[in-house]
Structure 1
């Protein structure tokens, strides 16, 4: 019976967000939220790494570390193949802060580095009630550690050097070559008996079907409007408990 009661008392994790700054406590004014959202979107576009801020009124008695990893596993911030997500959690009533770091960023955002950011960048500003400044400082400190060369999707994504249009042209060219070869082997009967616009054929060559090519007009950008503030979506990153906690 006791485990059921404890489960019922656990702090509820919000649904996966559609934005990077999520202030459930009403701590930040709207203009500060907008500036942070814009900054995080720009940093994500430049590096591929995702950072999300979540501000809650209270922990409701739950363990900070337990809630942090539960939320990280639910929200899955960061890219699936790179695990390059960061989640910064703030709990106003308890004056606690937690930074969750994805697997892929642990080499550059070690527990010691995360702790330093919490203690030296966030906490002093929060004590002065300069919450937006503390969060902005944390964002700057996190992305100062991110190696853009190692994390840029353009450098890590396989096959990025060949565009979909090039592949399409090569595919169509291959089909044409095969059809010409079949026509040559049939002694020209294809040209005499086939209709260009009609549906009837007078020869027994195989039917060649060219499949549709999806997404050829996209220009190579991220799906879901990744260049705009409203286009955020978590990519499936994994977390293992790396990061740091602190208070102010």
Structure 2
């Protein structure tokens, strides 16, 4: 009986040891970082201007082509290979459009001296394994060997963009979200406030309060649509412009010395703070970038330097 108990105890200890080994092995895997922007550098290799330049280039490419490209720099992927790690990144970030699967991720493990281009299903016909390997060997790693990581990544991105540009993909849809568009239009908001008052004053004189205010909203909405390409933001700007143009004459104005107010206008030599408009702008992505739901199947290529 004692021997049986001892055998069960030994097997229990062995089972616990194996479970702990699996737990520690899983815990040792490098965590996939949060997707905070088109460029995620956990090593401090790229300067803030490098990150801003790359992010702007990738954002413009996405707006024009629809395809998403992201860059990740980590110190190491150990104990995983870069192939194992990069597919986990792809599964977590979901770069590229859903059902189009036109995403690509450049992963650099700096301390390991390894890198990989992970390619979404929809780009495997253009950004093939062979093409990806040539970009790594001929464009990126020569500059990495000389210590020019920013140059290697920038040139690699340029080559990837040129390859994807040659692939027929669905045209990008105009966004109806306010995220990046508000950031981009931030410096124009004071102009929008002034334009609402100025244009509204003219149109109300010509068309009357209601029609003039509606026309003001339409003009400002069209301008916002042209600048940001966002229907949702255009509608919001139009509504605000309409409201400002409609109520501006209802707000009591100062009639002290040096000021004047005519029947059709609301102008005075004094100025108001305006209260809620800001001309501040945020950094390149500011956490507003997210993957579009793209899928990956392990296509791409790896290299080292």
TM score, norm. by length of structure 2: 0.56
1:221 corresponds to: 230
Equivalent positions of 1:96-175 (< 5 A) are: 96-147=114-165, 150-154=168-172
User: Is 2:103 the partner of 1:85?
Assistant: yes
Greater relative CO, 1 or 2 (CA 8 Å, sep 6+): 1
Give the counterpart of 1:3 among 22, 40, 61.
Answer: 22
Compare the two structures and name the one with the higher helix fraction: 2
RMSD over aligned CA atoms reads 2.4
65, 81, 95: which one aligns with 2:83: 65
**Alignment: residue pair count:** 185
Structure 2, unaligned runs of 5 or more? 1-18, 175-220, 234-282
Q: Which runs of 5+ in 1 are unaligned?
A: 161-215
- Report the TM-score, using the length of structure 1 for normalisation: 0.69
* CA-CA distance at 1:21 after TM superposition: 0.7
CA distance in 2, matches of 1:23, 1:100: 17
Matched-pair contact (CA < 8 Å) for 1:46–1:152? no
Deviation at 1:119, TM superposition (A): 0.6
Per-residue deviation, 1:153: 2.5
Tell me, in whole angstroms, the C-alpha distance in 2 between the residues paired with 1:78 and 1:232: 12
Q: CA deviation at 1:79?
A: 0.4
User: Which entry has the higher C-alpha Rg, 1 or 2?
Assistant: 2
Q: Secondary structure at the match of 2:105?
A: strand
Please report how far the alpha carbon of residue 27 of structure 1 lies from its aligned counterpart in structure 2 after TM superposition. 0.6
**1:99 CA drift (Å):** 0.8
Q: 1:5 to 1:87 in 2, by over 3 A?
A: same
Cα distance in 2 for partners of 1:223, 1:80 equals: 21
Deviation readout 1:134-186 (Å, 9 max, x if unpaired): 111111111111146722425xx6xx9xxxxxxxxxxxxxxxxxxxxxxxxxx
CA contact (8 A) 1:41 1:229 kept: no
Q: Which contiguous aligned blocks of 4+ residues in structure 1 show a shift greater than 6 angstroms?
A: none
Query: In structure 1, which of residues 224, 230, 235 is the aligned counterpart of residue 292 of structure 2?
Result: 235
